[in-house]
Amino acid sequence: MRYLPHTEDEIAAMLAAIGKSSLDELYATVPESAAFEGDLAVPSALDEQSLMNHLAELAGANQGATMVSFLGAGMYAHHIPPAVDQLLLRSEFYTAYTPYQPEVAQGTLQAIWEFQTIVSEMMGLPLANASMYDGASAAAEACQMARRLTRRDHIVLSECVHPEYRQTTETYLSSRGDATLATIPINAQGSFDLDALTGALTDDAAAVVVSYPSFFGALQPLQPLADAVHERGALLVVAVTDPFALAIAESPGAQGADIAVGEGQPLACLPGYGGPGVGLFACRDSRKYMQQLPGRLAGETVDAHGERGFVLTLATREQHIRRERATSNICTNQGLMALSMTIRASMLGKQGFVATAEQCLAKASYLHRRILTLEGYAPGFDDAPRFNEFAVKVRGGSAARVCQRLEQDGIIAGYDLGRVDPRYADRLLIAVTERHRREDLDRLVDGLDRVKP
């Protein structure tokens, strides 16, 4: 099967149009010393079925194809039914244009509106936008929004927030000469330090940013922090890396958060080399908040005949207004991933959402108990409530070494926290989802037990 779309006649016509006698003339500027002579070491073309078989063989040779993984750290492998992909293939979804003209984009607008409704319900906040690039960009945009709302320029950020969210926020703020950032260490439980954050609040603080659960797994009540932040006139921004946690933990909005952001990937698609993601963004509902909301907002209305319809209610991106007045320079919502998340959440329903989260919690608790019965393993941090992720101190004191050892047994044991901070080189961050079977959990325990000191 050929993959060259142009015939010899078409190539000749192109060359005649540009005044060249041969394809070689197109590359006349390339020095002879850099030109390749001979034939490329590429096999001959394959028919479609042979090519598919060949690709399947290559995929099967990938070590990770048969490994059981306990990686999390911001990207989680929850079950995504094949029906999600089949619905995404419907032509009205994948051919739909950006919905500037509501009369021809009702399907896309309604899908965005449904996505916003789901995010609003999960976060416990009444106003949600049409998504950001990912959780990290959503967190950074939340800090910018807080600065605009409070007319203050200082951000207080806990180290319990995902390190990539922190790095992205720092990058955003670094281009604003008047913005400052203070990073506050975590507490002994691996979560935000309430006293330290409260002590770091100054009169110019626009927002305090924490993660829920913590990047290290701990779940800590938000209300005491929200009260302290609001007392100083600042806003509370809460980041959620796995929305399934919100099925059993009280929502950020119900605990006083002003802005809640997060990553929708766990509900949208399996992780693939760190992505793709879909940024979740919700906030309190007032004219002041709506005017500063980044991105765009789809709303429900009625047409001239009184029929239900959907429109872009708010679009304050630089695509739509003067760049200097834009609330965000993100020029897209992750439309396909947002749609995927909407389909999956709708298939789950509220009961399925809770049932899945309960499986994650039960399996993580079982694995945590079993690992701590092994000699040489200990809790990574002081005991605290958790969802589906936890840290353990490993036998021998090197999480990297443990990961390398278990890879030989076909197990990705988790995330080496030494990659985040050398102080945590002896700790392994382990994530569990509903996809893990009991035999998978026991296999990890047995593998950890085989690691020599």
The tens digit of pLDDT for each residue in 425-452 reads 999 999 999 999 999 999 999 999 999 8
Check which CATH number belongs to the domain holding 421 and give it. 3.90.1150.10
Asked, for residue 14, whether it belongs to a domain, the answer is yes
Kindly state whether residues 185 and 284 are assigned to the same domain: yes
Q: How many domains does the chain have?
A: 3
Single-letter code of the amino acid located at 220: Q
Q: Going by C-beta distance under 8 Å and a sequence separation of 6 or more, which residues neighbour residue 339?
A: 88, 93, 111, 115
Single-letter code of the amino acid located at 313: T
The pLDDT value recorded for residue 404 is 96
Kindly state whether residues 242 and 327 are assigned to the same domain: yes
Kindly state whether residues 234 and 324 are assigned to the same domain: yes
- More confidently predicted of 247 and 131: 247
Kindly state whether residues 330 and 420 are assigned to the same domain: no
- The residue assigned the tokens 């995010």 is 119
The tens digit of pLDDT for each residue in 93-104 reads 766 666 777 877
Kindly state whether residues 232 and 329 are assigned to the same domain: yes
- More confidently predicted of 123 and 43: 123
The pLDDT value recorded for residue 1 is 45
Q: Going by C-beta distance under 8 Å and a sequence separation of 6 or more, which residues neighbour residue 180?
A: 153, 154, 155, 173, 204
Structure tokens at 19: 């005044």
Rounded CA separation 366/453 (Å): 24
Kindly state whether residues 297 and 399 are assigned to the same domain: no
Q: Please, are residues 187 and 214 in contact by the beta-carbon 8 Å criterion?
A: no
Asked, for residue 1, whether it belongs to a domain, the answer is no
Q: Please, are residues 152 and 206 in contact by the beta-carbon 8 Å criterion?
A: yes
Structure tokens at 431: 């994530």
In this structure, of 40-44, 185-189, 286-290, the range with the lowest mean pLDDT score is 40-44
Q: How many helices (H) and strands (E) would you count in the chain?
A: 15, 15
Range of the domain at 401: 68-79+351-450
Asked, for residue 2, whether it belongs to a domain, the answer is no
Kindly state whether residues 265 and 339 are assigned to the same domain: yes
Single pTM value for the model: 0.86
